Amino acid sequence: MISKEIKMLKNKRLEERRKKIPKDIDLFVKHSFDLVDKIHSLLEQKGMEQKDLARLLGKNESEISKWMTGTHNFTLKTISKIEAAIGESILDVKAQKPVIFYFTNPEYRIEPMKDSSSVPVSWNTSFQSATQTSSNYLN
């Protein structure tokens, strides 16, 4: 099997112009494509196509097609309508609350279980032997 590596040639002028794109525009484009990718993925999981989404939203298929190019400025209202139509959440913008741990014994570790959600409901605990020699720094 022969493996060929394809190297993309970059146009210097284009790359210079890209560097001048304001950060907010760059983020807008990234978020737009991420959103469209998520909608495509959810539609695929549900065995649906863009025409099905158009029918559910009461829109023309051509309008949905334009939305799905990755350059549409979705409003929260439109996103909510899409979520209601396909029965799945598109956005996950819930702020995660920090978890603060207080340890009285430096040899004792507590960690969320790997398969738990962002808010741990169960914990793995382990006791480790001392890995650090004592210090006179605080004495």
The tens digit of pLDDT for each residue in 68-115 reads 988 889 999 999 999 999 999 998 777 677 776 666 666 666 665 565
Task: Provide the residue count of the chain.
Answer: 139
Express as a percent the part of the chain with pLDDT over 90: 38
pLDDT at position 97 is 73
Mean pLDDT of all residues in the chain?
A: 78
Q: In the prediction, which pLDDT does 15 show?
A: 81
What domain count does the chain have? 1
Does 64 map to a domain? yes
52: in domain: yes
Indicate whether 34 belongs to any domain. Answer: yes
Could you tell me if residue 72 is inside a domain? Answer: yes
Which CATH number fits the domain that encloses residue 52? 1.10.260.40
| Predicted pLDDT at 120 | 52
Which structure tokens are listed for 54? Answer: 């158009």
Contacts of 12 (CB under 8 A, 6+ apart): none
Strand duo 123-127 + 108-112: pairing? antiparallel
pTM of the model: 0.57
Residue 85 and residue 67: Cα distance in Å, rounded? 15
- Expressed as residue numbers, the domain containing 66 is 12-86
> Is position 26 within any domain?
yes
Q: How far apart (Å, rounded) are the C-alpha atoms in residues 103 and 96?
A: 22
Residue located via tokens 């279980």: 113
Task: Give residue for tokens 């190019």.
Answer: 69
Q: Is residue 73 a part of any domain in this protein?
A: yes
pLDDT of residue 81: 95
Q: How far is CA 101 from CA 55, 75, 82, 106, in A?
A: 50, 39, 40, 12
- The residue to which tokens 């539609």 are assigned: 43
Answer whether residue 105 is part of any domain: no
